Amino acid sequence: MTSIANPSLELTRGAAGPDQLAIATTWRVGDQDRQMLAGVAIATAWQGRPWPSPELLDYTVFGSINGNTLMHYSRWASSDTASVREQMQDRWREISSAVPGIERLGGHEYRLYRSAPGADAEARPGCYVTVRAQFSQPDARRWVDGVFDAARTSPRPVPGLVGAHFHVSLDGRHVLNLAEWTDEQAHRRIVNEPGGAVRDAVNLFPGRTRVSFERFRLLLHLTPHSGH
């Protein structure tokens, strides 16, 4: 069975072995009404079926604040996911039937590389912000290390930041920072502030081809639920 809840997502929880994998993919749904319909369809598709495999630790769906996209974020105990993901195709077919026209934009396989608590580490997140960076060479880990080094040189607390979790793709060319914030306004305030060492480390790294961010709210957090 599947347990569906809307808690604070514990991004560092679960198996921490070297093979643990995170998969993040994006769906474009178009607007907030279709985003809501897709969220209901996803919940229905998962509730009606058994948990696909012990290898799947949890499955989370985020909805963009602007209503345009959904981000699917799943964590796996190992990198051997192909057969399980094939078994999950019936779920995707059911969702596509309920909400036709969803555009699947793809994604990447990652491993969690580094995490850091924020100034409000004990707060419950109300907004999640994805920062995605792409590189022409496999420099993702070096870029993340540079961001952490810059943060140490300017240790001013960032109000509203709960935590930042940097994932590096298996090919080393992509970073996904899944950052937890107390609310959307806290993130907007920091974006509007003048740049500093951290922002320079993000934007001035040689070989960086793209950096973008998007704000989300947590829609569904699905976990295996024993005893049913």
Q: Which of 29-38, 70-79, 146-155, 181-190 has the lowest mean pLDDT?
A: 146-155
Can you tell me the mean pLDDT for 153-176?
91
Kindly state whether residues 103 and 168 are assigned to the same domain.
no
Kindly state whether residues 158 and 87 are assigned to the same domain.
no
Reduced to 3 states, what is the DSSP secondary structure of residue 102?
coil
Is residue 6 scored above 60 in pLDDT? no
Read off the CATH number of the domain in which 39 is found.
3.30.70.100
Note the pTM of the prediction, 2 decimals: 0.89
| Residue-wise pLDDT tens digits, 80-130 | 788 888 888 999 999 999 999 999 999 999 999 999 999 999 999 999 999
Q: What is the pLDDT of residue 11?
A: 65
Domain that holds residue 196: 111-215
What angle do the packed helices 32-47 and 89-98 form, to 10 degrees?
140
The residue among 123 and 14 whose pLDDT is bigger is 123
Is 12 inside a domain boundary? no
Kindly state whether residues 121 and 196 are assigned to the same domain.
yes
Kindly state whether residues 127 and 182 are assigned to the same domain.
yes
Reduced to 3 states, what is the DSSP secondary structure of residue 110?
strand
Q: How far apart are CA 197 and CA 150, in angstroms?
A: 5
Q: How far apart are CA 111 and CA 18, in angstroms?
A: 8
Kindly state whether residues 85 and 121 are assigned to the same domain.
no
